[in-house]
Amino acid sequence: MKKRLYIIVLLFIALLFNAQGRRAEQSGIHAAYGFIPSGDSLKKNSFMAIAGYNHVLGDKGFLAKAEVFYHKTNVKYTGNQLLPYEKYGLNISGGYSYEGLYPVFINAYVGAFAAYEKVNEGKERDPKFNAIIPEKVTGFVYGISGSAELEIVLARKISLIGNYTQFYDIKSKFSKSNYAIFTGLKFYIN
């Protein structure tokens, strides 16, 4: 057992020495899966998934990313009902990276998103009282987003990412704020 652990540690150290920092105008793709931390039944079985393109702007630590996301959770409604809620969207963000702790980068982003939301599986009547829901159960929403990301360089072009992302809905009548803690991978193309 000790021999295996020793070999794994040596391989990890070798990967770090072969890794390189970011370069100006470097591009990459990323994918991450997230959960919504909460102890109540409202957030049980809730998750988010994100996939996107990221780009390093120049050599001063500025970043940009565009990503698609999917979010599934429940929202509270009249009479203690929990209605299924889904959101599909596009998020565009700009950010900055602190690279002084290489091979660890600390990234922060601020952006905007547009999404299509679906409440109660698109059904206009609630399941408990069979009453018509007065708000539209499907439609487009928009808002602002922010995220804090920890990126750990694993190999020359691969990084492990962990982040906290917050979405603030401006237009939605059912969901004003969604957040998740993500983990995933980033692969640099060039």
141: CATH:
2.40.160.20
Q: What is the pLDDT of residue 16?
A: 47
Nearest to 75 by CA among 142, 182, 172: 172
| Total domain count, the chain | 1
| Residue 96, pLDDT above cutoff 60 | yes
Q: 13-49, pLDDT tens digit by residue?
A: 554 444 455 778 899 999 999 987 765 545 667 899 9
Residue burial 54-92, b: 16+ Cβ < 10 Å; e: rest: bebeeeebebbbebebebbbbbebeeeeebbbbbebebe
CB neighbourhood size of 171 (10 A) = 12
Question: Domain limits at 34?
Answer: 2-188
Let me know: does 89 contact 63? Beta carbons within 8 Å.
no
The verdict on whether omega for the bond into residue 134 sits within 30 degrees of 0, i.e. cis, is no
Q: What is the pTM of this model?
A: 0.82
For the residues 74-82, what does the mean pLDDT come to?
A: 86
- Of 115, 116, 118, which Cα lies nearest the Cα of 86? 118
Q: Residue 171: its pLDDT value, please?
A: 87
pLDDT tens-digit series, residues 120-177: 999 998 898 888 888 899 999 999 999 999 999 998 899 999 999 999 999 888 888 8
The alpha carbon dihedral of 180, 184, 187, 188 has a sign of positive
- Taking the C-alpha atoms of 110, 87, 173 and 42 in order, what is their torsion angle to the nearest 10 degrees? -100
Length of the chain: 190
